[in-house]
Structure 1
Amino acid sequence: MTTPRTINFVLNGLPVSATIMPHETLVDVLQHRFDLRGARESCGQGLCGCCTVSVDGRPVSGCLQLAVFVDGCTVDTVEGLATASKLDPVQEAFIEAAAFQCGFCTPGFIMMVRQLLDEHPEPSDEDIRHYLVGNLCRCSAYPEIMEAVKLAATRRREAARAG
């Protein structure tokens, strides 16, 4: 018999708790307990990147991450990036570059691009391709995604200089 467990973690800057079953994945808990639908399960095998979220500052596949393992962690999702009045620069860049078609994969790409730019503020094309290799876009918006990454990198640098 499986026993429910209560986990406590920080979700998009706010402390939360949830009573879950030990087999539940992080993406299921985010969707069904917190109504956060940005991270989406597509392949269920950690191969497509649609379910990417950040756990303690590192990207993870929410479809593979058991929710019990985020107890005591900080979890950030695409829904937590914008403020009430302003989108994150990466979100803005994706809109401006039209770096999506159906939008299903977009939240996962945005989360990975943020991580990429945190680690490589001025990425080369090769850096971008290498870093995003685990994210798939079935609509093939890859040229626009590349453009969005470069635009977001430029905007972040400009914002850092402006201070």
Structure 2
Amino acid sequence: MDTSSTPSPAPHDDAAALPSAAVQAVWPERVDAGPHAVAYRLAVAAPAEELWGQLADPHRHHEVDGSGTVKQKVTGPHRLAVGDRFTVAMAKFGVPYRMSNTVTRAEPGRVIEWRHPGGHRWRWEFRDLGDGRTEVTETFDYSGLPKAAMRAHELVRTPQDNARGIRASLTRLAARHL
């Protein structure tokens, strides 16, 4: 057998063996948003306008939902503006329900926020990093609730559950843009 034409193996280079997306694989970082808010951020390899467009369309929220509660059935506009209402089919512990929300902030490419009937807010903020990436921050804010409601959320561990969901949502969003 003639091995003279068989190329010799290249020197082992761990970085070269990784897929190109691996350099972007990082975990969401906690953001201090106050004692009654849970927030994490992550750099995503996509323009802020594109990411905002995805999250300002409630019909696409299930694509990035890391909590497993948001379902595909949505009623409402495909591009949210302040004052808009939308309703999302959801399920938790196998129990289906619907959640109606009202948009409280909508600044294209910068922020989209909605309020649940109970008064807590979900916010997505986008900051262009200038290199084709966007820093995305997702926040669950229950600071505007009455003290008894805040305490109830804490007793049933809503902030911890939402922290896990937020980290998973940001990771899913980033994975869509690797």
TM-score between the two structures when normalised by the length of structure 1? 0.27
TM-score between the two structures when normalised by the length of structure 2? 0.25
Structure ranking higher on relative contact order (CA contacts 8 Å, 6+ apart): 2
**More helix per residue:** 1
Larger Rg: 2
**More strand per residue:** 2
